[in-house]
Amino acid sequence: MAAKPAAQDAALGAPAEPPPASGTLQLGGGHVSGRRVVVVGGGMSAAALALAALRLGAAHVTIVCRAALVVQEFECEVGWYGNKRLAEYAREACPRARLRAARGARPQATIDVPTAQALQAPWAAAAAALGAERGRTDADLPLEGHGPLPPLPVPKVGLRALGTLDVSDLDAALPRLVVAGYRWTDDGFELCITLPLGEPVPREQVRALFAERAVEVWAVGQAAAYHLHLPRLYGRTLPARARIKVNSARRHVYVLLHKEADAAWRFLRG
């Protein structure tokens, strides 16, 4: 990522400041505020830098990449998130074959769905501004050789799209709280996710939706509705064997997942 040189600021009458040393640009150090920023690349790192520059006050951010942005639900084929592809890779003794396998996994996507969603608003605003400059009002006007962001893919996780667990029957005034302080344990084939709640919730008031690589839970209490959504797990699970347990005395809900393999997970999220 390159920011406008300090020498140009001086030429415009702005106070000059020494440019950061090569490779040490700190987004939080005031180097991008009010400046025009160029991010070279079309992957997750480039998108994260562009969004961070916007949040920190960059006047204009341009993403430069050789090909159109590709949006997919996962950054690579899902087999690489678990043992299926990693085990094959570990068994391969030939360095050239390993390199081919790694390169073959890379071009399958550039940015994931949440990142694409975060880019949609500034992208549309920039398109509208460019259209106004050219006497157009079409927000979908292509941006400097690029088209609008490609359409977001339809989720293909499990049996149905997650994030759509029906809670439309709940009182609109009931607060919705995200369960952030959950804990999890990994014991052979079984994963247990413990959700601490602010009140006792009976089992019949807990709704859950399970997929191979995702889980969503709503626990509906008197004071609030508590929500957990993990859209991408570290590995595959067997949805048919997943279940919910409740300990009202301890105000805990336990989400029990059955893994496809008994290999230990390094993380809960993929």
* Average pLDDT value for residue range 19-48: 70
| Contact between residue 260 and residue 82 where contact means Cβ atoms under 8 Å apart | yes
User: What CATH number is given to the structural domain containing 212?
Assistant: 2.60.40.790
Answer with the residue of higher pLDDT: 209 or 10. Answer: 209
pLDDT exceeds cutoff 70 at 140: no
- For the chain, give the mean pLDDT: 76
Residue 159 lies in a domain: no
CB 162 within 8 A of CB 155: yes
Query: Which residues are within 8 A (CB) of 18 and not within 5 positions of it... i.e. 6 or more apart?
Result: 6
Flag whether 219 is in a domain.
Answer: yes
DSSP 190-213: EEEEEEE-SS---GGGEEEEEETT
Q: What is the domain range of residue 103?
A: 78-108
Report pLDDT for 18.
44
Instruction: Count structural domains, the chain.
Output: 2
**pLDDT (tens digit, 9 = 90+) per residue, 186-210?**
998 999 999 999 999 999 999 999 9
| Residue-level pLDDT at 5 | 43
122 located within any domain: no
Closest by CA to 256, choosing from 205, 203, 199, 220, is 203
Task: Identify whether 102 is part of a domain.
Answer: yes
Identify whether 269 is part of a domain. Answer: no
pTM of the model: 0.43
pLDDT tens by residue, 45-65: 888 888 888 888 888 888 887
Q: Domain ends where: 67, 93, 108? A: 108
Q: Tell me the Cα Rg of the chain.
A: 23
